[in-house]
Every structure is written in C-alpha cells, then in structure tokens.
Structure 1
Amino acid sequence: MDTTTLDQCLLWGHIRGVGLRVAQGSEVRIIGGRFIGAIDPYKAIGSGNVGVLLTGNNGGVHIIGTDIIGWETCLQIGEPGGPSNREIFITHATFDSSKHGVRQIDNAYTSIAGCWSASSDEDQILMEDTAEGAIMSVAGGTIFNGGAYGRPGAHNGMVVKAGSFTLSGVSIRNNKGTGLLVGEKARGYTVTGCRIHDNGTGAVLNGSDYAVTGCVFGGKQRHLIDQGTGNKSVTANVVPA
C-alpha cells in the first residue's frame, strides 16, 4: 500500500474483528471521520476487536482528527512477532471508551500531538514490553478518566513497559489507577511541564536514565514514587506535602 487516503469515513456498528487493517507500505493518511466499534460504547465494548491495526512495515502513517471509539483496542501499532512499523504521526485524533486506547507492540517512532486518550478500562496509552526500541513523543493534550464506566480493569493513564518516550505539556488526570506508570525496561525518557492530578496514584517511575522536571502534581493521590536506577533527574516539580 502506498499513497492512500481515507477522508471523512464513517465506520459504525457491532464489529467483531478489525475496523481498518493497514498492511505494509508508506504514506497512508486517515483524515477525519469516525470509527465506532460498538452500538453503544458507553455501555459495553467488544472483545478482541481493533479500530485501526497497523500490521507492520508501514512508514508515513498519518491519523488526523479522527475519532476512534468503543473498541477493545482503538489503535494497535504492530503485531506480536511481526515486522515493526517505522513512523506514525497522530494529530488531534481522539481515542475513547475502550479497553486500550493506543497500544504499541513494535519499535516504531510514534508522534502524538494534541493527545486525547480517555475513558479506557485498562490504559489510555500502552507501550508493551516488546517495544524496547520504540520512541513515543506526546506533546500537549490530555490522558484522563481511566475507569470512567466502572468496568473491570487497571484504569491507568499511560503505561510504559519498555522503550523510550517524551511527555511535554500533557494533563494526566482523573485516572482511577496510576496516571503514569513506567516499567523497569524503559530508558532515556523525559517528562516535562506536565500536570498530573486527581489520579489514584500520580506517577510511578522505574527504568533508567530519565528526567522528570517542572511538573505540577495535585489532588489527594499518592503523587510521585521514584524507584528508577542509573542516571536520573527528578527536580523542580511541585509536589504537595
């Protein structure tokens, strides 16, 4: 697949499989539209279905202003054991009312600008432990409302099991689990200028070689738990006593 555009497409209903499967290629653009995987996603979502699946070996994939809602996984980047995608660009898209909002399995570079990932049962953004070579950049927007519907799950905000990431100017809020949960296989990450408040736990840091600076924590939560190793800088944050 090369130089393909889907413009203002509507996909809606009780979908058991994959809404849009993108095979190998480059320059794929999904512009606007809605991909809704359940009749009423606020009451129930499907089991095992995926809104958009990037199977592997894709580059130049752009998702712009698209609403993806009511799936087990709204956007899945990569497949277990498959080839990695290359670069993914997500701009002002919305991922909502799912089990997983954005789930990255492979080692692609993923850029999210103006993030909206909300109301998931497990996590709004997940980098799996197979994503050791991945780099994710999230600039602006919000990661919030994990566990909104009271369905079973961890109700976390962003979970990074492996890989590297940057968070800048993001509001992580009102997740019943942990707002930002970083695992031991993460490395070389930065969190700057974020507002992390009213989660079950604010941020739990593991991994190595990271900086968390200039963030504001708030609410009655446990705010900041730093358990990482190696070179690190956790400074100039506003953490209530």
Structure 2
Amino acid sequence: MPHPPATEPAVLERAPGAGGELVLRRAGAHFEIISNGVFLMDTRNGESERLLVRTATAGLQPPARLLIGGLGVGFSLAEALTDPAVGEVTVIEREPAVVAWHTTHLEPFSRGALRDPRVRVETTDLLDWLTTATGHYDALCLDIDNGPDWTVTPGNARLYDATGLDLLARRMTARGVLAVWSARAVPAFENLLRARFTDVDVHAVPVPRGEPDVIYLARTPDKTGKENV
C-alpha cells in the first residue's frame, strides 16, 4: 500500500475528496490512488489486503456478515466474495470518486464486486457510520489508512483509540473478529487491542521494499456493557 514505484505515472483523473484532492494514476498496467499528495495504495500486489480478509473470515459459519472499512483498489472486497461462508458484505467508503472508479479503471481489481447482490456500499465516513449503525458483523476488516499511526487524515486517529475500539466492538457478534491493516508495526496500538480484547494475533506480511505490512486480529471483546451478540 505505501510503496510507490520509481517510475513516473500518468494522471488519469482528479477529484475532490474528504481529505483533499484524490488522484488516480496509471503506471504501466497498474493504478495508484493518491490522497492529498500522499501515496495511498496501488494495484501491484494486494497480498496483505487479501490476507486481511482470509484471516478474519477463517472458520466463520455461513451466512457470515462482513464489514469492510475502505474500498481502496478492491482487493479486500474481491477476496471476501470468494469465501462461500460470506453471505453479506457492507463496504464503508467515504470517497465517492473511489467508488466510481470501480465502475471504470479499477473494476478488474475488485472483479466487478459492486454488482454482486451480496454487496452494499455506504458512501460515508466510517466513524460517523459507527455512531449510528445498528447491525452486527462476524468480521470487521479495516484498511482505510496506512496504519493506526499513519492516517490519511488526522481525524481518523480517533478510530484507533480506546473510544474507537469500543465503537467497533459494539458492531461485533459474539464470534466476531476485528482485523486492522497497517503498513508497519504499531506497538502502542497492539497494547490498546490487548487491553480491550481477550485474544489478539499479529501477522507480519513481507513486502518487496521496506518493513513488513502488519495485520492485527482481535477477538472476544470483554462484556463490560458492550452490545455484541
């Protein structure tokens, strides 16, 4: 995700976004999304994004309900729909331009998932949605930032503090799993997860350049006034 190439890509589209200007670029056969001048993601690999979903859904019983925070280039959503246990996927993506690009340039990478009847896309901010949502999910997969300490916009930091984790836990079923993608290890966030959940796993995913991507998995939130069922 945060590993831009050395070659100069061509700009295909520009669009206003919640965090500043969004740019879609092509570099050879691949595409990149830039948010407010910051490299956000590309279509080159996606292994850690796919692993985010595979580890979160492993062992779930059908019909599982998934929440994906961040549509991105579509790797996570496409992977979710390959699992026969998945009955419904809700995607929260705050940028209308990103959603629109999945009907054009990015459609091959999400494998046309927006047309799948199991998929519902909410174009809104995840934090805002969490404060009003009422449903519960068997897996919550978050990939909206470069990591808990490397957010696309400063306001997203609230998602990874104790209050944000409580909001996420309230949307989890009793068997639910929270999975969070990060471009690097964030020990302070891992400590918060361990203080809030009873079962936390950390998966390092090697990348071609730089330190490994990291997937955090958290299960079985404590029952202190939480709404999970």
Q: TM-score, normalised by structure 2?
A: 0.29
Structure number having the greater strand percentage: 1
- For CA contacts below 8 A with separation 6 or more, give which structure has more relative contact order: 2
